[in-house]
Each structure stands twice: as C-alpha cells, then as structure tokens.
C-alpha cells in the first residue's frame, strides 16, 4: 500500500485549493426535454481534488492514478495552460461520482504502431478507442478552454497510402450512465470524434469540433461528430462542428435521443444509419428528435440510410440483409445553406439497382418519419433536384411526412425530389 500511495503522489497532487478550480457548469437539455428526467449529480467534495501532473512523457498513468484516488466524490483537475500527452491506452470505465475538469490541453501521441496494436477494439465497423469512459454520475467539462487533440493529420496521411491503417476514435464512452460532457474543443480525430456506446442519460453540450487537414493533398478521413450505438436517452446540443462526414449518426439500437441547436459545416448531414448492413443482426432506431439545426456545405441535410435485403439462401452477408425498424424520427427546423441534398432517405443504400432493391426488399421497416420546416438555398450540384425518398417497397416504408419544405435552387427552378415506392399522401414536396 505504501508503494502505491507514493506512486499516486508522484503522479497527482491532491492539495490544490478548491477555490482555484472553476465551478462545474450547470448542463441541462433545452429547449426540447427528454421524456423522463435524468438523475441529478451532487456536488463534489472540495477537499478531494486530484491535479494531474505534467511532468511525464505519458500522462496516461497519472490520469488513471487520479481517477482511482478521487473516485467516489472528487474532481480530477487539468489546469488551463498545461499540456498533456497520452501515449498509452486508458480504461476509465470504473468511474462513480467524479468530475473531470479539463481546462488544459490533451493530445494523443501519434505513435501509429502502438495504437493499432493496443487501442480498445470493437467489432462494430472495426471501431477502436484511445481511451474510454464508463460508470455512473460523471461530469467531464472544459468550460470552452480545454482541448483534446487526436493529431489526425498523421493518421490521415498514413491512411492515404495504406488503407489498412486502423485509426482510433478520439473520445468514447462505454457503459456511461448519468453524465454530462460539455465545453470541450475536440481537434483532428484520426477517425470519428465521438463514439457514445452502451450508455444512457448523457447530456453533451457546448462542444467545438474541428477537423482540418494541414496538407491540401491529404483529405480528412471519416470524422463523424457523434456516433451513438446501443445507447438510449442521449442529448447532444448547442455545439459547432466542422468536419467531412456525418455531423451526427444514429448507429444501431439508438433510442430516445434529442439532437438540437447544432451548427454543422462540411458534413454528410445528421444521419440515421447505416442500418441493416449485417445479416443476423437486429437494428432499432426509434424516438429520435432532431431540432433547430444549421447545416451548411453538406452533402445531405437529413439522411436515413438503410441497406437492402439479400437473396434467399444468403448466409453471413455484410452488405445487407439485417432486420429491424426505424420509427418515430423527426427532423424539424432546418436552416440549409449550400447543401447538395436537403432530404435523403433510402432503403437501397449502396446499390443503384432499384429493381434488385425491390426484389430483395429491406428487412428494416421504416415508419412514422417527419421532415418539417426546412428552409434555405441549395448548392448547384443536383439543381433542381433537392433530395430523394426511396423505399424498397411500400410495405416496409410507411407514414413518411414532409411539410413546410421551402427550398430555393440556385437556378430559380422549383425544387424537385425523387420519390420511389413511397406513399405521397403526406409529402408536401414536388415528387418526380
């Protein structure tokens, strides 16, 4: 025990005055509210503060020691102006009643060999994580000052010449319940910015996400803002995202989620899916509310992407054939600027053969989807086509509504939509 205590004191300082640590922000869902209230987080003990030392080439062990020392009622403190490098994996899935005040700057060492061998691996879409947070009653905040940098340029350049490079996700939760994540700047992730997995009752607010290449010949790769997976009762709000892939993506088994007040630039929109990719898997997306979104220079605004079915006798397909449902999904109040498509719904994802898609219709049923109050000016790319609603068959795609869609095309022509195998009763758009 004496050896462990000596090690902890070498890595963290627990004697910082509580007055030197800024107050934890109050983070609440607004204006849309979850259907049930989230648990409250009691104040932390002001005498239990673990300040992470900067005197180490790898801050990972110091952060782990701080989490163990100040778990169950304390605060881990990264002071403003201090720089930390994490060079080894960090499993923080044991947390309880603890805060992380990240006002300094964290970066992950761009050691591609180490991370590809040691990052936490997930079977779903070959995801991997530098570090992961889990537990109950956890608050992670940066007050607009703290930053987390994935040094993505190194990874994007490597991937450009070797497509087998496995790139970790910048920030991840796995089994996090009753938490807030707020006020952080996330910079240049090797892969997605965030994976929210196996988690519930989490509010994410006032974040600033930016992925920018420093080499014109190397593109940012992936860079999804948030991907939710096997998670429920999540709120993502009041944040700014500059990226090149989905601003938010609801992956399989994401339910009861609110996304509101986001400003997304350069993305692929806010997406359901893709779903139904893996035969034998059941994908469920339901009770999703996307509200008050500013979407600019995106390929799509609101997007639902579902893989088609597969021929009888197919076994183990990874290009469709999964089952499930998408229901009770609302996209409301979208301000669009220079987007290629404002609405993109398809049950024929990854295939352009409509005949085959109808023949082997998707086993992921879509129903009760609303697109409402969309305005803005489109890009010239598909002028005058502003989007599409493509169902594999009407039997597996019903009650789709589009209302108050006021989109202007650069040419001045009336905006049109490709509508295939979809009931047009509730579509207040110009279907072609």
55 is catalytic: no
Contact 417, 382 (CB under 8 A): no
From the candidates 149, 227, 268, 283, give the one annotated as an active-site residue. Answer: 268
Contact 307, 346 (CB under 8 A): no
In the three-class reduction of DSSP (H, G, I as helix; E, B as strand; rest coil), residue 82 is classed as coil
Is residue 403 exposed (0-12), middle (13-18) or buried (19+ Cβ within 10 Å)? middle
Sequence-distant (6+) residues with CB within 8 A of 431 are 389, 416, 417, 418, 419, 424
From the candidates 206, 224, 245, 246, give the one annotated as an active-site residue. Answer: 245
Of residues 426, 326, 420, the one with CA closest to residue 367: 326
In the three-class reduction of DSSP (H, G, I as helix; E, B as strand; rest coil), residue 14 is classed as coil
Strands 208-210 and 185-187 come out as: parallel
In the three-class reduction of DSSP (H, G, I as helix; E, B as strand; rest coil), residue 68 is classed as helix
Distance CA 48, CA 421 (A): 61
Contacts 24+ apart (CB under 8 A), 3-12: 7/65, 8/65, 8/68, 8/69, 10/53, 11/52, 11/53, 11/56, 11/61, 11/62, 11/65, 11/66, 12/50, 12/51, 12/52, 12/53, 12/62, 12/65, 12/66, 12/69
Report the DSSP beta bridge partners of residue 150: none
111 is catalytic: no
User: Is it true that the peptide bond before 31 is cis, omega within 30 degrees of 0?
Assistant: yes
Contact 367, 398 (CB under 8 A): yes
Strands 120-121 and 128-129 come out as: antiparallel
Catalytic residues: 245, 268
């Amino acid at each position: 025990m004496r050896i462990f205590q000596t090690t902890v004191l070498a890595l963290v300082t627990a004697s910082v005055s509580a007055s030197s640590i800024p107050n934890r922000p109050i983070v609440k869902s607004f204006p849309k509210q979850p259907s049930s209230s989230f648990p409250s987080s009691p104040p932390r003990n002001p005498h239990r503060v673990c300040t992470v030392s900067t005197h180490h080439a790898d801050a990972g062990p110091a952060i782990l020691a701080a989490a163990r020392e100040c778990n169950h009622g304390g605060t881990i403190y990264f002071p403003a102006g201090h720089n930390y490098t994490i060079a080894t994996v960090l499993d923080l899935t044991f947390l309880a009643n603890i805060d992380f005040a990240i006002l300094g700057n964290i970066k992950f060492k761009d050691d591609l060999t180490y991370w590809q061998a040691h990052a936490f691996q997930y079977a779903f879409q070959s995801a991997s994580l530098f570090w992961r947070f889990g537990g109950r009653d956890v608050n992670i905040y940066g007050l607009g000052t703290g930053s987390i940098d994935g040094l993505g340029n190194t990874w994007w350049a490597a991937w450009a010449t070797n497509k087998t490079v496995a790139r970790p996700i910048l920030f991840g939760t796995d089994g996090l319940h009753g938490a807030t994540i707020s006020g952080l700047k996330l910079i240049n992730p090797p892969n997605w910015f965030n994976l929210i997995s196996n988690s519930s009752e989490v509010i994410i607010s006032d974040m600033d996400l930016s992925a920018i290449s420093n080499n014109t010949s190397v593109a940012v790769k992936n860079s999804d803002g948030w991907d939710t997976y096997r998670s429920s009762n999540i709120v993502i709000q009041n944040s700014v995202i500059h990226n090149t892939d989905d601003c938010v993506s609801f992956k399989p088994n994401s339910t009861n989620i609110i996304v509101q007040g986001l400003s997304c630039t350069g993305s692929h929109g806010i997406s359901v899916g893709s779903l139904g990719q893996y035969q034998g898997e059941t994908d469920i997306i339901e009770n999703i509310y996307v509200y008050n979104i500013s979407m600019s220079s995106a390929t799509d605004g609101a997007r639902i992407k579902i893989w088609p079915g597969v021929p009888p006798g197919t076994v183990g397909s990874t290009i469709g054939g999964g089952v499930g449902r998408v229901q009770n999904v609302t996209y409301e109040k979208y301000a669009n600027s220079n987007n290629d498509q404002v609405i993109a719904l398809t049950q024929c994802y990854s295939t352009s053969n409509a005949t085959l898609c109808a023949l082997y219709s998707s086993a992921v049923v879509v129903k009760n989807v609303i697109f409402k109050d969309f305005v803005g000016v489109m890009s010239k790319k598909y002028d005058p086509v502003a989007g599409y609603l493509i169902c594999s068959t009407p039997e597996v795609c019903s009650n789709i509504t589009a209302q108050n869609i006021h989109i202007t095309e650069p040419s001045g022509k009336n905006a049109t939509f490709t509508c295939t195998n979809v009931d047009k009763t509730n579509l207040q758009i110009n279907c072609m």
